[in-house]
Homo-oligomer: A and B are copies of this chain.
Amino acid sequence: MAGTQFICTGCQAIMPGNMDTLRCPVCGDPVDILRADTGGFSEPQIAVGQQWMEAVTLGEGRTPTIKLSRVAESIGISSLYAKLEYLNPTGSFKDRGSAVVVAAAKAAGFSEVVEDSSGNAGASVSAYAARAGMKAHIFVPSTAPEAKIRQIQAYGAQVHPIEGTREKVTEAAINFQQSRQLAYASHVLSPYFIEGTKSFAYEIFDDDQNPFPDHIVIPVGNGSLLLGTWKGFTEFRDVEQMKCGPKIHAVQSEEVMPVVSAFLGKQEKNHYETVAGGIAVGSPARKEQIVQALRATNGQAVGVSDDDIITWRNSLCEQEGIFAEPTSSAVLAGVQKLVLQGTIKRNEVVLIPITGFGLKDPL
């Protein structure tokens, strides 16, 4: 059986897939895994492209979906559903991606992985590395909050604090990985990571308890959940001749909204701090691809204020009993905006992911 192949998200060049290729050697754009005939998870093996690899699992995925009646009423829509991605093993949706990227690194013979993230991705890659019996090196800004570092260290990962900008942290991680010839388990660039987040779409498609959504509204930092969701639905649309999938919309904080700016063709404003740390990404490497996904599904991109993010975070917790990190509540502010601008009709079915547990970021 042929190994996994990659396809460039820019120039569409096709190349052999491996852990070392994170950008197209022709044009430099990020790469995806070329779609195979097999998709989805099957334990104890998973199919990635045309390659089968031993699963590294902590029980990720198959998260519950519940109806949010009170919050929906506040927004003025009839059918709002939340898929509780924070009930993944390390407390965020990132586990879907980490499970696959760590399995790929292990299958390729690596025993150490490198990642740069002080947040959900850092904790997630650390946990899956531990589960796979691998050592994890996590590069973080030296200013990262103690509580997040503690979760990463609990999994036995080595934390490398780096001074300077977020870009410096990525640079240090890549230098370290390349000089030591380790695997870079990037939640941003690795196509294996995005391959893992596709299962979010598969589960929505397979859900026979809840109505199929007209709209899926997703918080976007580096876009790994949005891109996986899009890729997942694209497969089903091909395979099952679906006429149209759900519209996929992106929500960012007004303080840091490069995707919204690119989507609207506006000048980016300067980047400030936001309470929604999970989506505070100034220059997402897959920005063009995210915009492409939004256009392909007739989706929109909206920015929301930090005040609204905090207000919705409190409502979600006090009215529905869901304790989410601020990034997750940003989508509720986004849904409200999309309803007000007429993109979402009041009787349509809306689904949002609750991406991360509030325990990780209690404000």
Report which A residues bind B (CB closer than 8 A).
Answer: 43, 57-60, 62-66, 70, 84, 87-91, 126-131, 133, 147, 150-151, 154-156, 209, 314, 317-323, 357-360, 362
Among the listed B58, B126, B129, B317, which residue makes an inter-chain contact with A66, where contact means beta carbons less than 8 Å apart? B58
Among the listed B63, B90, B318, B359, which residue makes an inter-chain contact with A156, where contact means beta carbons less than 8 Å apart? B318
- CB pair A155–B321 under 8 Å, yes or no, is yes
- CB pair A87–B66 under 8 Å, yes or no, is no
- CB pair A130–B91 under 8 Å, yes or no, is no
Could you say which residues of chain B place their CB within 8 Å of the CB of A65?
59
Instruction: Please measure, in the bound complex, the distance between the C-alpha atom of A2 and the C-alpha atom of B84, giving whole angstroms.
Output: 36
Could you show 10 A-B contacts with beta carbons less than 8 Å apart?
A62-B64, A84-B89, A89-B322, A90-B321, A90-B323, A127-B322, A155-B318, A155-B323, A156-B317, A357-B359
- CB pair B322–A151 under 8 Å, yes or no, is no
**A304 to B: closest C-beta gap in Å:** 20
**A102 to B: closest C-beta gap in Å:** 10
- CB pair B318–A70 under 8 Å, yes or no, is no
Q: Which residue of B lies closest to A126 (CB)?
A: B321
Known: A58-B320, A131-B320, A133-B319. 14 other contacts (CB 8 A): A59-B63, A59-B66, A62-B64, A87-B88, A89-B322, A90-B321, A127-B321, A130-B321, A151-B323, A151-B358, A155-B318, A156-B318, A357-B359, A359-B359
Instruction: Please measure, in the bound complex, the distance between the C-alpha atom of A94 and the C-alpha atom of B228, giving whole angstroms.
Output: 33
- CB pair B66–A84 under 8 Å, yes or no, is no
**A136 to B: closest C-beta gap in Å:** 10
- CB pair B319–A362 under 8 Å, yes or no, is no
Could you say which residues of chain B place their CB within 8 Å of the CB of A64?
58-60, 62, 89
**A324 to B: closest C-beta gap in Å:** 10
Among the listed B59, B320, B362, which residue makes an inter-chain contact with A84, where contact means beta carbons less than 8 Å apart? B59
Instruction: Please measure, in the bound complex, the distance between the C-alpha atom of A225 and the C-alpha atom of B156, giving whole angstroms.
Output: 30
- CB pair B58–A130 under 8 Å, yes or no, is no
Could you say which residues of chain B place their CB within 8 Å of the CB of A84?
58-59, 89
Q: A89-B321, A130-B318, A318-B130 are in contact. Are A358 and B154 (CB under 8 A)?
A: yes
Could you say which residues of chain B place their CB within 8 Å of the CB of A359?
91, 151, 357, 359-360
